[in-house]
């Protein structure tokens, strides 16, 4: 069966911490028509929150003049893809950044759990980053209601 | 979102409502630290019964308060985290450091 895009959404918002909640709400609204379970919804919200926070805090060092992009695609096979990208500083060593508890910002009480949470709460996580150019995080989650 | 502070048997009960993310933790951290300084409790209890969402910023908030409180000989406890918050607490191993009361399942 060929997989088709059922819906797609793209947006850009300023790298302001108040937009972390905004990104969660918009993503939630986008997937609601596809009847996610309460748990799936919570997983997606948490994963999006982690990725957006990373873009703001690490990618842009909280420079609110910059923009974070979010793209969400719902496919006919029940999988949802959410992509969050910034044109910020980039990650020099992705493997190190993805290690649980690794953080470059312990003094601001960042735990280094962001990528671990994204990995645990979604089915697939892909991170592409270039120093000085930015980072793109793409997460895929399959919604159970489609698997019937 | 407002946070309720209450003193009960020498313990400071901190009950944040709504969502705890990076945006909210800045304010929460200052408020909680100020209350701990002010009332010098024997124990700090995070009551999550009115918290609808928490990400890793919340973990940082809890662990940061735990570190500071322990230095002062103050105990820390977590109450009523609900299913979603329990999951994230356990994933990060917070349950091995801090006792959790009223866990759903």
pLDDT tens, chain B, 105 aa long: 688 999 999 999 999 999 999 999 999 999 999 999 999 999 999 999 999 999 999 999 999 999 999 999 999 999 999 999 999 999 999 999 999 998 765
Helix, strand, coil fractions of chain A, as percent rounded to 5: 40, 30, 30
Specify if B9 maps to a domain. no
Q: What is the pLDDT of residue A148?
A: 43
Contact with chain A for residue B38, Cβ under 8 A: no
Does A117 touch chain B if contact means CB atoms closer than 8 Å? yes
Which positions 80-99 of B are in contact with A (Cβ < 8 Å)?
84, 88, 91-92
The number of domains in chain A is 1
Range(s) of the domain holding residue A22: 5-143
Cβ contact A109–B25 (<8 Å):
yes
Domain count, chain B: 1
**Predicted-complex ipTM score:** 0.92
pLDDT of residue B1: 65
**Chain B contact for A27 (CB, 8 A cutoff):** no
CATH code of B63's domain: 3.30.750.24
Domain annotation covers residue A148: no
Which pLDDT score, from 0 to 100, does residue A1 have?
A: 67
Is B55 in Cβ contact with A117 (below 8 Å)?
yes
- Is A119 part of the annotated catalytic residue set? no
Residue A50 phi/psi, 5-degree rounding, is -65, -45
Token reading at B68: 């500071």
Whether the pLDDT of residue A113 is over 60: the answer is yes
Q: Name the band, by pLDDT with cuts 50, 70 and 90, for residue A2.
A: confident
Is A110 assigned a catalytic role? yes
Task: Say if B10 falls within a structural domain.
Answer: no
User: Domain containing A35 — which CATH number?
Assistant: 3.30.565.10
Euclidean distance between the first and the last CA atom of chain B, given in angstroms as a whole number: 27
CA A135 – CA A124 distance, rounded (Å) = 17
């Amino acid at each position: 069966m060929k997989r088709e895009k059922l819906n797609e959404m793209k947006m850009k918002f300023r790298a302001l911490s108040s937009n972390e909640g905004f990104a969660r709400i918009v993503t939630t609204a986008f997937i609601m028509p596809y009847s996610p379970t309460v748990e799936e919804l919570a997983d997606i919200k948490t994963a999006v929150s982690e990725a957006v926070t990373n873009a703001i805090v690490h990618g842009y060092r909280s420079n609110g003049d910059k923009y974070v992009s979010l793209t969400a695609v719902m496919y006919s096979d029940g999988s949802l893809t959410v992509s969050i990208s910034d044109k910020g500083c980039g990650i020099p060593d992705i493997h190190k950044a993805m290690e649980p508890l690794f953080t470059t910002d312990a003094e601001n009480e960042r735990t280094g759990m962001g990528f671990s949470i994204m990995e645990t709460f979604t089915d697939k996580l892909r991170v592409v980053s270039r120093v000085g150019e930015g980072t793109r995080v793409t997460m895929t989650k399959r919604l159970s209601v489609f698997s019937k | 979102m407002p946070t309720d502070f209450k003193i009960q048997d020498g313990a400071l009960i901190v009950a944040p409502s709504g969502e705890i993310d990076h945006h909210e933790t800045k304010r929460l951290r200052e408020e909680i630290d100020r209350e701990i300084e002010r009332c010098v409790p024997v124990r700090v209890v995070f009551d999550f019964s009115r918290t609808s969402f928490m990400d890793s910023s919340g973990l940082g908030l809890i662990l940061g308060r735990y570190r500071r409180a322990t230095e002062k000989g103050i105990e820390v406890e977590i109450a009523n985290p609900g299913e979603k918050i329990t999951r994230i607490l356990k994933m990060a191993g917070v349950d091995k450091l801090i006792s959790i009361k009223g866990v759903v399942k």
